[in-house]
Chains A and B, each alone.
Chain A
Amino acid sequence: MDTLAHLANGFSLALTPINLLWCLVGVTVGTAIGVLPGLGPALTIALLLPLTYKVDATSAFILFAGIYYGAMYGGSTTSILLNTPGESASIVTSLEGNRMARNGRAGAALSTAAIGSFVAGTIGTIGLTFVAEPIVRFALKFGPAEYFSLMVLSFVTVSAVLGNSALRGLTALVVGIFLGMIGIDLQTGQPRFAFGVTELLDGINVLIVAVGLFAVGETLYLAAHGKSGPPEVLEVKDSIWMSAADWGRSWKAWIRGSLVGFPIGAMPAGGAEVPTFLSYWMEKRFSKHQHEFGTVGAIEGVAGPEAANNASAAGVLVPMLALGLPTSATAAIMLSAFQSYGINPGPQLLDTQPALVWSLIASLYIGNVMLLVLNLPLVGLWVKILKVPEPLLYAGILVFATIGTYGISRSVVDLLLLYAMGIMGYLMRRFDFPTAPVIIGMILGPLAEQEFRRAMTISQGDLTIFLTRPLSLTLLIIAFLGVAGPWIWSRLRKPAAV
C-alpha cells in the first residue's frame, strides 16, 4: 500500500508538463540513438552529463531513463532491418527478425518487437516498483563488509563470468578501477596515479572515458576494419499491424521473455545477453513452428528475446536504485550522474530521495506508452534515420564528442585524454576486450575502497571481518567460484577426459 502511495506521488511529479517534455525528448533521442549503429545509451547519457549542472535531478533522470528505454526499442528496429545490431543486446533479435524482414514480414517483426518491448518494459517496471523496497529493507542491514563483498561479487560477474574471457574481462575491470582511482584520495588528501600532472589531481571525468571508449574508439575501429559501402536497409513491405495468428504466437513469448529477463537483469550480475539467448533457446525449443526458425524467421524468436531484453533493462535498475550497484555501463554512468548531484546512491536513496526515485519509476511507465506510439506508427521516420550515410554519422559523433569534453572544461588536456581513451577503446575492440567493465570498475572501484576502509575501521584493522560475517563470506565464496570455478571444473574433468 505504501508503495502505491509513493508511486502515485511519483506520477504526480512525472506528469507535470515540463517533466513530460523531458520524458518525450528522452524517449525520442533514445530511439534515434538506438536505431543508429555505433551509438548507444551509455555514450549518449555520458555526453549529456553536463546537463546535470544545469537541470534539476528529477528532470535529468527522467531524460536519462527515457534514453535508456528508448535505445532498447530503437535497437530492435535496426536489428530487424539491418543485419548489424545497433546494440549488443539485440543480436538475438536479428537472428529471426532479419530473416522475417527478408521474407517480406518486416512489419510483423517490428510490431511484435515494439509491443513486446512495451509489455516487457511494463512488467519489468512493475517488478521494479514492488521489488525495490523489500530489497532496500534487506540491504539496510548490510554493513560495510557485506557491501564490499557484494561489490567484489559484482566485479567478478560483470567481468569474468559474462563475456568471452575471464582474463580479458578482469584486465578491463582492473584498468577501470585504476582510472577511477586517479586523483586526490578523499580520505587522506594524497594524490594517487596523477603522474605529476595538475589536471589529473581532480580525477578523470567518466564522461571522457565513456566517450573516448565508445565514440572515438568505435570510430577508429570502424575506419580501420569496417566494411566498405553502405549497408543494406530492408524495406517494410507488409502492414505493421499483426494478424490474429501473429498475436496468438507472440503474447506467450512476450510473457515468457519478461519472466526470464527481469530476474536475471535484477541480479548483481546484470547483462542482457544471457536472458535474450535463454529466451531464444526456450522459444525455439517449445515452438510448434520449428521449421520457421532459421529459414523464413519465426515470430516467437523475435517476440521472446525482445521482451527479455527490455525486462532485463528494467531489472538492471533494481540493484542500481536499491543498492547503488551498477551492472551495466549505462547504469554506471547514471550512478555517476547521481554523484554529480551530490546524491549518495545506495539503500538509503529510497528514503533520502523518494521524490526523485519514484518520479523516475513513474516516468518509466509513461515512457513505455510514449515509446509504443513513437515506434509503431512512426516507424517510417526511424527507417529514414537508419539511412544516414556512415561518413556523416561518424564525423557527427566526433563533433559531439568534442563539444561534450572540450565544451565543459575548455582544456586541451581533456581532448588528449579523450583521444588516448579512444586508442585504448580501439585496441580493446581489436583484441576482444570487453569495454563495459572499464566503466563499471571506474565508478564502483572507489566505492568499494570506501566500504573496505569503513569495514577495516570498524574491525580495527582485522581482515577477518570479511570472512566471519556469514553473508559477507557467502558473497565472497560465490565470487571466488565465479572466477576459479570453471578452471577447477576443467582440472577435475581433465583426467577423466584423457
Chain B
Amino acid sequence: MDNSARASRADLAIGIGVTALAVVLGWQASVIPDNSAYAQVGPALFPWLIAAALFVLGVLLIIAALRGGWSHESEDAPDNMNWAALGWVSLGLLINVSAIEYIGFILASTAMFVLIARGFGSRTPIRDAAIGFSLALVAYVGFDRVLGYKIGSGIIESLI
C-alpha cells in the first residue's frame, strides 16, 4: 500500500511536468506573431494545437497518477535505484561537457570513459583509461582526418 502510494507520487510528478511543459509551450505559441493574411494557416496554429494537446494529455496523466499511477507495475521502484552508479555516470558526462572546449575531445572523452566504466562496476581505471584513450583517438582520426569534420583543438589533438 505504502509502495503504491509512493509510486503514484512519482507518476504525479511526471503528469505535472507534462502539464507544465504544455503551459510553457502555450506561452511560446502566444509570442509567435501570427500574420494570417500571409497564408491560410499561420505559423502559430500548430504550436497552439500542440500546447493544447499536451495540456490535455498532462491532465489525463495527472488523473491516472491520482488513481494509483501506472509505473509501479514495473520493477524499477525508486528504492532499487543505484545512486552511486548514476552519480559516476553523471559526473562523467558533466566533466566531458565542461572540459571538452579546453582540453579537447580526446582527453575529455577519456575522462568520461573511465568514470562511466567505474559507474558500471569496473575497478581497473588505468586499463579503462588506456582503452578509452585509444577509442577516442580512433574516433577522432576517423572523424577529423578521414571525414574532414573539424572537431576542434586540444592538448592531444595538437600533437597529431
Contacts and interface: CB of A to CB of B under 8 A. Distances in A.
A174 B120 contact: no
A396 B131 CA distance: 9
A403 B18 CA distance: 31
A167 B71 CA distance: 13
Interface string B131-153: 11001100110011001111110
Query: Interface size bucket, A side?
Result: 35 or more
A494 interface: no
Contacts, number: 193
Interface string A82-120: 000000000000000000000000000000000000000
Nearest to B149: A407
A391 B43 contact: no
B25 A403 contact: no
Q: Is the interface of B mostly helix, strand, loop or mixed?
A: helix
B25 A412 contact: no
A419 interface: yes
Interface stretch (A218-226, A267-275, A370-378): A218-226
Interface in B68-115: 70-71, 73-74, 76, 80-83, 85-86, 88-90, 92-93, 96-97, 100-101, 105, 108-109, 112-114
Interface string B111-130: 01110111111100000100
A432 B72 CA distance: 10
A256 interface: no
Interface in A204-254: 216, 219-220, 222-226, 228-229
A400 B132 CA distance: 11
Interface residues of B, number: 76
Interface in B10-45: 10-11, 14, 18, 21, 25, 28-29, 32-33, 35, 38-44
Given A223-B120, A224-B86, A412-B101, A403 B40 contact: no
Contacts of B90: 220
B66 interface: no
A167 B58 CA distance: 9
A399 B113 contact: yes
Contacts of B109: 399, 402-403
B139 A410 contact: no
A225 B81 CA distance: 6
Interface string A165-183: 1011011001101100100
Contacts of B139: 399-400, 403
A398 B128 contact: no
Given A174-B50, A403-B139, 19 more contacts: A54-B148, A170-B57, A178-B54, A190-B43, A219-B89, A220-B86, A220-B90, A223-B85, A223-B89, A225-B80, A225-B81, A391-B116, A395-B113, A403-B136, A452-B46, A453-B40, A453-B41, A456-B41, A457-B39
Interface of A: 50-51, 54, 165, 167-168, 170-171, 174-175, 177-178, 181, 185, 187-188, 190-193, 195, 216, 219-220, 222-226, 228-229, 389-392, 394-396, 398-400, 402-403, 406-408, 410, 412, 415-416, 419, 422, 427, 430-432, 445, 449, 452-453, 456-457, 460-461
Interface of B: 10-11, 14, 18, 21, 25, 28-29, 32-33, 35, 38-44, 46-47, 50, 53-54, 57-58, 60-61, 64, 70-71, 73-74, 76, 80-83, 85-86, 88-90, 92-93, 96-97, 100-101, 105, 108-109, 112-114, 116-122, 128, 131-132, 135-136, 139-140, 143-144, 147-152
19 contacts: A50-B149, A167-B57, A190-B43, A190-B44, A192-B29, A193-B47, A219-B116, A223-B86, A223-B89, A229-B121, A395-B114, A396-B113, A399-B109, A400-B139, A402-B112, A415-B100, A422-B93, A431-B70, A457-B40
